[in-house]
């Protein structure tokens, strides 16, 4: 089918585009700056802002399905920035898709839309709760997800896919930051990294999202939200150590207790706010909580409804990550 994918520049956008192409779909990626993907006749690119109706109306012409992955991601930033990019942006994509008569819509969401900060142990996806979630990012994604799913009908099938903690070669969000810290000797675990958390190897997200697109018309998919993960929860300590090892760096065993991390987060946030810095602070209360609290999910429903299994296991994923660092020249094999 003809598919429009927003946000082709990010890690997730890239793997989705590749998966679409490999399954024989015709893809247009749309974002403000060039995606850096290898373009060809079945993978074309359009540049523009998703909030611009004329850009979107043009992009949606003749399209069968839209995958909306573009979003502003971050743990700091003002509400108005998140609202504009993630809420208004989604509304704009949604409007254009409806106007153009698109029949399938996949919203790439986040498990944080239903996460109030409590430990999640084998949790179900849960309903997006803008009023309960932590942080501007999660709130904006929660509002957007509700907007999308509220539109779902027999003629406009919509699904939300929430990949959990995505990592892989080239990932700057998680892998890049952890490796940077390890390299500069600033890597510290909270409570020995004992919380059990799910994560998702990047290419598995691609196959899950495309499976969602292909099956979105089914009654057990349409209108619902699915958390996607590798289904192999591990301790924070193990994930961090294996990422650092893949980059060829020594593991750190430094740990601070959760209350200390939380206070440090509060102090750092205060300093950043007072000094008006726009960069990401090294620690926030939200981050401390995320790194110290279990979150892993019951994957049975997701796998059943999407008829999907993660193709790359964690072990294989870490081997890929290691190869990537070796190829990048940073690690002696």
Partner 1 sequence: MVNPPLSVIGLPGIAPEWSRQASFIDSQNEMRSVHALDTHCEPSSRDNITLTLVCVHGNPTWSFMWRKLLATAPVGVRVVAIDQIGMGLSERTGAIRRLEQRVDDLTRMVAALGVTGPVVSVAHDWGGPVSLGWVESVIAHTESQCTIQGVVLMNTAVHQPNHSHAPALIRLARTPGILAMVAEKSAGFIRGTTLLSGSSMPAEVAAGYRMPYSNAHRRRAVREFIADIPLETDHPSAAVLDRIAEDLTLLDHTPVLLQWGPGDPVFSDIYLQDFIKRIPHADVHRYEGARHLVIEDASQVVGDLWSWVASLGESPEQHSGDEAENVNLNAAIAQRSLDASPAIITLAERGSARDVSWSSLATVVDRMARGLALRGVTPGDRIAVLIPPGPDLIAFVYACWRIGAVVVITDAGLGIRGMRKAIRGAGVTHCIGIDRARPLLRTIPVPGLRLSMRDLADVVREGWAPSPSSDPLPRKSGDEAVVVFTSGSTGPAKGVVYTHGQIQRTCDLLTQHYALTPADGLVAAFAPWAVLGPALGISSAIPDMDVTKPRTLTARALADATLAVKGTLMWASPAALANVVRTASLSGVSPNDFTTLRLVLAAGAPVSAQLLTEARALFPDAQLRTPYGMTEVLPVCDVTLEDILEAGRGNGVLVGFPLPGVEVQIATLDADGCPAPDLTGNPDVTGEIAVRADHMRDRYDGLWFTNSLASQNPGWHRTGDVGHLDARGRVWIEGRLSHVITTSSGVVTPVGVEQAVVSLDEVVSAACVGVGSQGDQQVVVVVTGPHAKSVVASPELTSRVRLVSGVDVAAVLIRDELPVDIRHNAKINRTAVAVWADHVLSGHSR
DSSP result, 48-97 = --TT-HHHHHHHTTT-SEEEE------SSS-HHHHIIIIIIHHHHHHHHH
Residue of 137, 201, 262, 325 with catalytic role: 137
Q: Measuring CA to CA, how many Å separate 282 from each of 62, 75, 78, 118, 264?
A: 45, 10, 17, 22, 10
Give whichever of 70 and 314 is closer to partner 1, judged by the CB atom.
314
CA-atom Rg of the chain in angstroms: 19
Give the shortest CB-47-to-partner 1 separation in angstroms. 42
Give whichever of 37 and 120 is closer to partner 1, judged by the CB atom.
120
In the block, tokens 């509060």 appear at 266
Q: Are 35 and 29 in contact (CB under 8 A)?
A: yes
> Minimal CA–CA distance to 115: which of 162, 51, 74, 171?
162
137 is catalytic: yes
Give the shortest CB-292-to-partner 1 separation in angstroms. 4
The pair of three-digit structure tokens given for residue 132, joined into one six-digit string: 């309960």
The pair of three-digit structure tokens given for residue 248, joined into one six-digit string: 């060829």
Give the shortest CB-191-to-partner 1 separation in angstroms. 6
Start-to-end Cα distance in the chain = 42
Give whichever of 42 and 300 is closer to partner 1, judged by the CB atom.
300
The pair of three-digit structure tokens given for residue 125, joined into one six-digit string: 């996806």
Give whichever of 313 and 323 is closer to partner 1, judged by the CB atom.
313
Q: Are 300 and 226 in contact (CB under 8 A)?
A: no
Give the shortest CB-328-to-partner 1 separation in angstroms. 22
Give the shortest CB-250-to-partner 1 separation in angstroms. 12
Q: Are 10 and 32 in contact (CB under 8 A)?
A: no
Give whichever of 101 and 250 is closer to partner 1, judged by the CB atom.
250
Give the shortest CB-235-to-partner 1 separation in angstroms. 5
Q: What angle do CA 315, 108, 91 make, to 5 degrees?
A: 170
Pairwise CA distance, residues 266 & 70, whole Å: 30
Give the shortest CB-122-to-partner 1 separation in angstroms. 3
Pairwise CA distance, residues 89 & 51, whole Å: 5
Q: Are 37 and 28 in contact (CB under 8 A)?
A: no
Give whichever of 102 and 237 is closer to partner 1, judged by the CB atom.
237
Give whichever of 156 and 296 is closer to partner 1, judged by the CB atom.
296
Partners of 45 in beta bridges? 29
Pairwise CA distance, residues 259 & 246, whole Å: 30
Q: Which residues bind partner 1 (CB under 8 A)?
A: 118-119, 121-122, 190-196, 231-238, 241-242, 245, 251, 253, 255, 258, 289, 292-294, 296, 298-300
* Residues with catalytic function: 137
């Amino acid at each position: 089918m003809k598919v429009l994918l927003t946000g082709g520049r990010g890690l997730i956008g890239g793997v989705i585009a590749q998966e679409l192409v490999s399954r024989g779909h015709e893809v247009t990626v749309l974002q403000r700056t060039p995606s850096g993907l290898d373009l060809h006749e079945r993978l074309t690119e359009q540049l523009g802002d998703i909030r611009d109706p004329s850009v979107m109306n043009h992009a949606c012409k003749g399209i069968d399905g839209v995958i909306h992955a573009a979003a502003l991601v971050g743990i700091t930033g003002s509400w108005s920035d998140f609202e504009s990019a993630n809420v208004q942006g989604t509304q704009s994509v949604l409007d254009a898709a409806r106007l153009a008569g698109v029949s399938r819509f996949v919203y790439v969401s986040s498990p944080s839309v239903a996460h109030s900060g409590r430990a999640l142990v084998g949790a179900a996806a849960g309903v997006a709760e803008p009023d309960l979630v932590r942080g501007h990012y999660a709130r904006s994604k929660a509002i957007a997800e509700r907007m999308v799913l509220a539109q779902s009908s027999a003629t406009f099938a919509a699904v939300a896919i929430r990949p959990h903690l995505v990592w892989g070669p080239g990932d700057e969000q998680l892998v890049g930051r952890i490796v940077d810290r390890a390299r500069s000797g600033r890597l510290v675990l909270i409570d020995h990294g004992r919380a059990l958390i799910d994560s998702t190897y990047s290419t598995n997200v691609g196959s899950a999202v495309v499976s969602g697109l292909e099956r979105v018309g089914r009654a057990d998919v349409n209108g619902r939200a699915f958390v996607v993960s590798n289904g192999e929860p591990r301790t924070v300590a193990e994930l961090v150590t294996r990422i650092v090892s893949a980059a060829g760096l020594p593991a750190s065993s430094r740990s601070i207790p959760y209350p200390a991390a939380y206070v440090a987060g509060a102090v750092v946030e205060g300093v950043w706010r007072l000094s008006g810095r726009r960069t990401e602070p090294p620690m926030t209360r939200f981050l401390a909580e995320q790194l110290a609290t279990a979150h892993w999910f019951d994957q049975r429903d997701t796998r059943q409804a999407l008829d999907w299994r993660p193709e790359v296991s964690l072990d294989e994923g870490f081997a890929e990550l290691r190869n990537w660092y070796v190829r990048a020249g940073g690690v002696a094999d």
